[in-house]
A and B are shown apart, each in its own frame.
Chain A
Amino acid sequence: GAVVSQHPSWVICKSGTSVKIECRSLDFQATTMFWYRQFPKQSLMLMATSNEGSKATYEQGVEKDKFLINHASLTLSTLTVTSAHPEDSSFYICSARDKTSGMSGGELFFGEGSRLTVL
């Protein structure tokens, strides 16, 4: 099946630094990618919808200047956590829908997640 790759899978950084997480669709093109955040023992909370070639759509309460999303191509979206603080420590998961599946149909493929720890 289709594969979505996230990198890095695990990162530790100092407070105040910025961290970039990449999400790549390896064998399909994705016009839309979604970024989720998951706290331990909790559900996935949608942060933003990343659209290729346009600005991301952020969910209510998510700071767009804090979590910069860039979807530069049909196979790559990046999430940059700027000036990270310990409360940003979390598990970040991206997902991508094959553009041939239509807006809401078919399978949404998930990356393996990136665990961010901010000291």
Chain B
Amino acid sequence: GEDVEQSLFLSVREGDSSVINCTYTDSSSTYLYWYKQEPGAGLQLLTYIFSNMDMKQDQRLTVLLNKKDKHLSLRIADTQTGDSAIYFCAESRHNQGGKLIFGQGTELSVKP
């Protein structure tokens, strides 16, 4: 995951918006993903964006992609305590068989 960078920790209050940032390095990446992982569980896909898009919105989630800067962000509106988890961004490397490379994960803590 060293080629995909995320901040490690984010703390917000319930009801606020959360913004989790990610930078990646491979310009050949075709898809970029956000996954959520709760303690002891596998990964849950939240959303993904194709590299020719710059924004995707899905209910409380908004993904912004700046391909020039290789920067991806996930905004969670009206953050709830149930959103507390680790969030991973990942890039799908088209030139490497489509394998996913993950960032280190951002631990989101939502305080009531």
Contact = CB atoms under 8 A, between A and B. Distances in A.
Given A97-B98, A112-B41, A113-B42, A104 B93 contact: yes
B53 to A, nearest CB: 13
B41 A113 contact: yes
Contact of B99 (A34, A42, A106, A109): A34
Interface of B: prevailing SS? strand
B24 to A, nearest CB: 13
Interface string B60-83: 000000000000000000000000
A112 B42 contact: yes
A19 interface: no
Contact of A32 (B31, B33, B98, B102): B98
B88 A43 contact: yes
Contacts of A103: 94, 97-98
20 contacts: A6-B42, A32-B98, A34-B100, A36-B102, A42-B104, A43-B104, A44-B1, A44-B43, A46-B99, A95-B43, A102-B98, A103-B98, A105-B31, A108-B33, A108-B45, A108-B92, A110-B43, A110-B44, A110-B45, A115-B40
Interface of B: 1, 30-31, 33, 35, 40-45, 48, 50, 88, 92-94, 97-105
Interface of A: 6, 32, 34, 36, 42-46, 49, 57, 93, 95, 97, 102-113, 115
